[in-house]
Structure 1
Amino acid sequence: MRWKTIRQFLWGEVPSSKLEQRLLLKLDWFILSYCCFMYFTNYLDRANVNNAYVSGMKQELNMQGNDFNKINTIFTCGYIVGMIPNNLMLQVVPPRLWFPSMQIVWGVLTFCSSTVHNVQQLYAIRFFQGISEASTFVGTHYILGSWYKSGELGKRSGIFTSSGLAGTLFSGVLQAAVYQHLEGVGGRSGWRWLFIIDGVITLPIALYGFLVFPDVPSTTKAFYLSEEERALSQDRLDSDVVHHSLSWDLAKRVLSRWRWYGCSLLFAISGETESFGSNNLMGQWLSAIGGYTVEQVDYYPSGVTAFGIASTLVCATWTDYTRARWPVLVYMCFCCTVAAICILVWSSPTGLKFFAYYFAGASYAGQATTFAWANQICADDYQERAIVLASMNMWNNAVNAWWPLLFYPATDAPRFKRGMIAMICTCTATLGVTWLVWYLERREQRLAKRKAMKHETREDSPNPVEIDKPLKDE
């Protein structure tokens, strides 16, 4: 009994049969392996721009003022444009073809990044990379929600999210190694070699996706799944799922419920707590105050990501066991608020600022939990779930397109005073929206339960037509 409890805590809901256990092992191996490798290269590409900026790209491309922030903003605009179309394409084109194809596109564009001669060329490349990379994050969360139960979903979402963070972590280490050993080789700067190596890593993983990705349960033809396992993959999730054809009724269905509004608002706000890491504030701080080598500026911010990975995995494991998602967002807001206060008080010692930036890595824990929560809320409608997941990331990136320019411009380094105040306000707003989503989900569950009880009462009645008629006098 104790072993079963431990296993359930560590890996989610225990399979009910050996067949289901074998199915889960195969899904974990083939789905998670490809999705994690894909997201690893996705975040490796994003983080490499940050690391290239503080490793010579700024000087070589003669970047001025907020050019760095503009690169990220233009990428975000492309990401927003590609978000919903990419997720809807998964309803039309098999995911085993769509995911790797988009990965090849951004891999080729990454190679192109190594050849730019001015920042304007990088702007154009980053816009189209944003469109292609928009397929990965919400698309994978849609796929995970199609294969896994709610009690299995948090941990898998956490592992997937952590793979992207691992890409960020590896990028700093990779850039430092490239700067040490490839700077000037073949007449190329170290930061240019970084993009080349990133592209080389990306393309073989896309080929792996073409070979092993299983699509969704209703259409899978994966060679490693038996007919019995394919049937089980549908039966264990599909009992209450409503299937609709793709039509304009989808917009009416989505916009008439609270789910799209609540979940979109939640991640639009809570996603901005990741600003510490996504804008490499620690790297900019170290570079601005001086006294650190290029290798140290690349290495030291890796601690933010490392703490983010640890927080994500622990929190995802805990939410699958308890089935409660909201406490993770409370934990995340607490950590980011403490970190912002420590940095805001500029007279605080350097060691405390290091601690604050690392502690803020907890913000990444909310990402996996929020999307697992949305998958859980929208589990009864595949198309609504695809739209809600895409919209969550779309609205977060719509905010993120201007948020760093306003609150975290490169010209504010090293203090980022406006940014720290904005972080405290963001955490406060996140707590309010978290309560709202929790309340609306509970209310929907209560109404569904009452409706089901009324339906059962009518079915159990010996004469449903007469049940409400008054008795006649004898």
Structure 2
Amino acid sequence: MAVATKFREYLSPGGSSEGERKLVQKLDFFILTFCCLMYFLNYLDRSNLTNAYVSGMKEDLDFKGNELTQINTVFTVGKTTRLTSSNGYVIGQVPSNLALYYIKPRYFFPSMMIVWGCLTMITAATHNPQSIMAIRFFQALAESSTFVGTHYILGAWYTERELGKRSGVFTASGLGGTLFGGLLQTIIHSSMDGLQGLAGWRWLFIVDGLMCVPVALYGFLLFPDTPQTTQVPYLSEAERELARSRVPRHVQRAPFNWAFVKRVFGSWYWYGFVMLWIIAGETESFSSNSLLALYMKAHPGRKYSVSQLNNYPTGVPAVGIVSTLFWATLTDFLGGKRYLVGYWIGITGIITSAMILAPSATTASTFAAYYWAGSVYACQATFFAWANDALRYEEDSLRAVVIASMNALSGAVNAWWSIVFYSANFAPKFTRGMWAMIGCSIALAIWTAGVSWMCARTEKDRINHGVETHSGDEVVSVDEMGTQKA
């Protein structure tokens, strides 16, 4: 009974008073609805490139070899057709998070949505893969603000007890975009293919872009910015002050100077969490590179219909949604034990890769392995919540840079990783990628243990030095001997 009562309390909106619970409910509605819709459309746009590819774009634009993988690389890092590095999604993330110090999020996020929505619609007019490469580079700059920016905002508003669930809901919305993308392409292909002389895959990009407009308008009118800057009418002055009191206050220093750079690179947080997400991101790329769709497209013994190519792979993000919400909720309930997900992914990566590599692997077992591998998406929500938790008592600018650097450098590695291990012309077996997944899974389990140890040591030092810490929803102070003071 005690566990059931505790679980019911945990699933409540949060807060120790009626006023705080109402505040959290308002934050959930206005922050999560906008951020989740924004991320949903962000992922819908990304996943629909592959959906379009398997639905006629490959043949219409005469794609060759691994050009699809190269386009995804352009999006992630920004590469010319000669594959010399430039910067797109990768370099956009740290500047985007730092820009939130100077541009209010309710202006910044909607503006970026309008930019990438327009570029998505322009994709419908392309006639060769090189044009798509150029468009995706600029889309990357706009879309780079969404993921890391939202995690920064979530960390600014929510307490440790609340953060994991919200991060999980946010991440699940992106997976929802991936899942819905295949269904949307099926609907458009069956009802709009040939309409006004345009192929179904072209209509897909037009519809994607138009969907961004109402969401951007909603964010511009009602997004609450940060606790320190919010002026939205639905929060009273008392609620604004309550929101500011719920999170640690820091002495803020200008982020653009040499001293700040030294603080970033002199901190273990940057190295620990950036490497954690680089490794975890490559376990996630097993699913995010749409390998199941490519496996089906290149299957030597069976030809799948367009509807099957779009619908069957939706099971992967569906598993990812369930896994993300489960692990985000469980690790919150267990007091923030985010490291558990690292061990789960290690086990999953080894077993599913072995299932696909097995000489006796059947189509059914391969499908099962890809679906199970979708559960590694859980690392998105939990690892970024873990970084927010660990950096809660550090200055916000450091937290912003660490979170942005995690995704930026993971993207930089994933750009060439996808070509080396998951290139479209390696389908259907992706043998090299399976072995890479096994290696990353082992490395992730080891690195997770190291970050967990560093977090525990840092928390112990913080307590011993009498720094303010949180106990549930109550803020307490701790003296040199670790004794709570009233």
Question: Does the alignment reach a TM-score above 0.5?
Answer: yes
Three-state SS of the structure 2 residue aligned to 1:243 is coil
- What letter matches 1:418 in structure 2? R
- For residues 443 and 47 of structure 2, the distance between their equivalents in structure 1, rounded to whole angstroms, comes to 27
- Which residue of 2 is the match for residue 74 of structure 1? 74
Is 2:306 the partner of 1:294?
yes
Specify the alignment match of 2:253 in structure 1.
244
Asked if residue 326 in structure 1 is aligned to residue 342 in structure 2, the reply is: no
Q: Secondary structure of 2:434's partner?
A: helix
Which residues of 2 match residues 33-432 of structure 1 at below 5 A?
33-77=33-77, 78-239=88-249, 241-248=250-257, 249-289=259-299, 290-322=302-334, 323-380=336-393, 381-432=395-446
CA distance in 2, matches of 1:430, 1:60: 41
Distance in structure 2 (CA, Å) of the matches to 1:369 and 1:298: 28
281-290 or 99-108, larger mean C-alpha shift: 281-290
**Deviation sequence 1:272-330 (CA, Å, 0-9, x none):** 11123211100011111132111101000000010000000010000111121000121
CA distance in 1, matches of 2:400, 2:5: 33
| In 2, Cα distance between equivalents of 1:194 and 1:285 | 22
TM-score, normalised via structure 1 length = 0.94
Bigger mean CA deviation after superposition, 180-189 or 389-398: 180-189
Question: Normalising by the residue count of structure 2, what TM-score does the alignment of the two structures yield?
Answer: 0.92
Map of 1:466 onto structure 2:
none
Distance 1:382 1:432 in 2: 28
Q: CA offset at residue 457 of structure 1?
A: 5.6
Secondary structure of the equivalent of 1:391?
helix
Q: Is the 2:172–2:324 contact (alpha carbons within 8 Å) kept by the matching residues of 1?
A: yes
Aligned CA distance change for structure 1 residues 457 and 141 (closer, same or farther; 3 Å): closer
Give % identity.
48
Instruction: Output the CA distance in 1 between the equivalents of 2:459 and 2:233.
Output: 39
Instruction: Please give the alpha-carbon distance, in whole angstroms, between the structure 2 residues aligned to 1:269 and 1:170.
Output: 27
Cα distance, 1:4 vs. partner? 4.3
Structure 1 position 28, deviation (Å): 0.2
8 Å CA contact retained: 2:113, 2:143:
yes
2:465 aligned partner = 451
Per-residue deviation, residues 337-368 of structure 1 (Å, max 9, x unmatched): 21111101142121111110100001100110
Question: Which whole-Å CA distance do the structure 1 matches of 2:449 and 2:436 have between them?
Answer: 20
Q: 1:90 to 1:185 in 2, by over 3 A?
A: same
d(CA) in 2 for partners of 1:406, 1:11 = 46
Please list the CA deviations of residues 17-37 of structure 1 after superposition, one character each: whole Å capped at 9, or x if unmatched: 011000000000000000000
CA distance in 1, matches of 2:187, 2:30: 31
Query: Can you list the C-alpha shifts for 1:32-58, whole angstroms capped at 9, x where unaligned?
Result: 000000000000000000111111111
Alignment partners' CA distance in 1, 2:324 and 2:415: 25
What is the alpha-carbon distance in structure 2 between the residues aligned to residue 90 and residue 331 of structure 1? 34
Alpha-carbon distance between aligned partners in 2 of 1:106 and 1:282, rounded to the nearest angstrom: 27
Unaligned runs of 5+ in 1: 461-474
Counterpart Cα distance in 1 of 2:202 and 2:480: 70
1:3 deviation in Å?
A: 6.0
Q: How far 1:8 moved relative to its partner?
A: 3.5
> Higher helix fraction: Structure 1 or Structure 2?
1
Distance 1:420 1:303 in 2: 20
SS at match of 1:224: coil
> Quick one: structure 1 residues 211 and 3, their matched pair in 2 at CA, closer, same or farther if it must change by over 3 Å?
farther
Separation in structure 1 between the aligned mates of residue 105 and residue 49 of structure 2, nearest angstrom: 28
What SS does the corresponding residue of 1:115 show, helix, strand or coil?
coil
The answer to whether the 8 A contact 1:333-1:363 is kept is no
In the alignment, is the contact (CA less than 8 A) between 2:167 and 2:382 conserved in 1? yes
Question: What residue number does 2:453 align with?
Answer: 439
Find the structure with the greater CA-based Rg.
Answer: 1
Aligned to 2:470: none
* RMSD after superposition: 1.6
Q: Aligned letter for 2:332?
A: D
| CA distance in 2 between partners of 1:253 and 1:242 (Å) | 14
